[in-house]
């Protein structure tokens, strides 16, 4: 049976960062173009709707909600629904492009032009795969939640005096079992992305046969990745908090005397003009952090796929 080294696969992302640091910087720049700029344009386009939503939320008093205020809030929120859908599709495509770049850096390191970034069939297949996986996850999550809810309700009604405890226990037990099963399914299908990239075709359930007998190794690799990413997050959060605290004067100015309400009442361009220096610094740190996390997360799956297929 083919095997792979858990530690070697889990640290593959750090290997890419060490060998190709300029590629990671290039990914951060591309991420800024691919995500930050569209986000700013969306903010400018939907600024009035967002401002209206925030202002209505702040004017809502405690107690029973005002029907007219709720109607206006729903109307403002509905104006952002289409933009949210488009942003979801676009962000999934950007994620697929970065995933393909990291896979290329691991599997075909000689193809280093343009920081391994491409726009081709592989990126489109990965986009489709990620969209299908997200939709399936939402459907499965909804079905599982409904089943657990029904079982908890049945346990509660049949539990008599201890009905509440029976319902809570059933819900917690069902949730724990569901998490274990979903994690196992995710690990069995975890080779879908590298298989889609290598084969240049849509692959999902084909991962099942390749990951047979590899569950514990894949779980160990996933747990190591969680530890690595949490460590990077702690480091980056510390740096970003320092940057935010450095903007203390700007933040303090928003407190008291309706400062925040007055700030949000300004036109979107005025708000953007006042906060853009801090947004630029935080955005630069965020994009570099995102590029590093993408590398740490995606590279191990490509490394594991290479090891599993090279011995078969």
| pTM, to two decimals | 0.78
Please report the pLDDT score of residue 184 as a whole number: 94
The pLDDT of residue 277: 66
60 contact partners, CB below 8 Å, separation of at least 6: 66, 69
What was the pLDDT predicted at 210? Answer: 92
Q: How far apart are CA 162 and CA 151, in angstroms?
A: 15
Asked whether the beta carbons of 9 and 307 are under 8 A apart, the reply is: yes
Contacts of 215 (CB under 8 A, 6+ apart): 184, 187, 188
At residue 194, the pLDDT reads 96
| Token pair 């997200």: residue | 134
Q: Do residues 134 and 92 make contact, with C-beta atoms less than 8 angstroms apart?
A: yes
CA distance 283 to 281: 5
The candidate with the shortest Cα–Cα distance to 90, out of 82, 101, 102, is: 82
pLDDT in tens, 35-72: 777 776 666 665 555 555 555 555 555 555 556 555 55
Q: Helix, strand or coil for residue 160?
A: helix
Q: pLDDT at position 253, please?
A: 47
H helical segments located in the chain: 6-10, 12-19, 21-31, 37-59, 67-78, 81-107, 121-158, 163-188, 192-199, 207-210, 215-246, 248-252, 259-264, 268-310
Q: Which residues of the chain have pLDDT under 70?
A: 1, 40-80, 159-160, 240, 243-279, 311-312
Tally Cβ neighbours within 10 Å of residue 240. 15
C-alpha to C-alpha distance for 243 and 246, rounded to whole angstroms: 5
Q: Residue 14 has what pLDDT?
A: 95
Q: How far is CA 161 from the centre of its chain?
A: 43
pLDDT the model gives residue 54: 54
Count of C-beta atoms within a 10 Å radius of residue 25: 14
Phi-psi group of 256: left, alpha or beta (phi > 0 → left; psi -120 to 50 → alpha; rest → beta): left
Structure-token pair, residue 137: 């996850």
pLDDT digits (tens, 9 = 90+) for 128-180: 999 999 999 999 999 999 999 998 888 888 866 777 888 888 899 999 999 99
Structure confidence at residue 254 (pLDDT):
47
Whether the Cβ atoms of residue 289 and residue 89 lie closer than 8 Å to each other:
no
């Amino acid at each position: 049976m083919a095997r792979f080294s858990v530690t070697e696969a889990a640290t593959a992302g750090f290997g890419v960062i060490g060998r190709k640091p300029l590629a990671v910087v290039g990914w951060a720049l591309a991420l800024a173009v691919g995500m930050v700029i569209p986000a700013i344009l969306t903010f400018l386009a939907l600024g009035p709707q967002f401002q209206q939503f925030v202002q209505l939320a702040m004017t809502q008093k405690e107690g029973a909600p005002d029907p007219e205020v709720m109607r206006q809030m729903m109307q403002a929120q509905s104006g952002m629904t289409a933009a949210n859908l488009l942003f979801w599709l676009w962000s999934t495509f950007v994620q697929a492009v970065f995933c393909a770049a990291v896979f290329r850096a691991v599997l075909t390191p000689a193809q280093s032009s343009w920081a391994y970034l491409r726009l081709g069939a592989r990126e489109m297949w990965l986009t489709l795969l990620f969209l299908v996986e997200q939709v399936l996850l939402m459907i499965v999550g909804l079905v599982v939640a409904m089943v657990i809810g029904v079982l908890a309700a049945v346990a509660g009604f049949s539990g008599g005096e201890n009905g509440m405890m029976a319902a809570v226990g059933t819900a917690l037990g069902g949730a724990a079992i569901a998490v274990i099963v979903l994690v196992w399914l995710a690990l069995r299908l975890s080779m879908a992305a590298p298989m889609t990239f290598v084969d240049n075709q849509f692959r999902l359930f084909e991962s099942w046969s390749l990951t047979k007998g590899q569950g514990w190794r894949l779980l160990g690799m996933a747990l190591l990745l969680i530890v690595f990413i949490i460590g990077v997050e702690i480091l980056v959060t510390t740096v970003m908090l320092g940057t935010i605290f450095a903007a203390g004067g700007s933040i303090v100015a928003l407190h008291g005397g309706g400062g925040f309400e007055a700030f949000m009442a300004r036109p979107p361009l005025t708000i953007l003009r006042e906060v853009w220096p801090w947004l630029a610094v935080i955005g630069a740190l965020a994009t570099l952090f995102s590029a590093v996390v993408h590398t740490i997360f995606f590279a191990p799956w490509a490394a594991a796929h290479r090891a599993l297929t090279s011995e078969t």
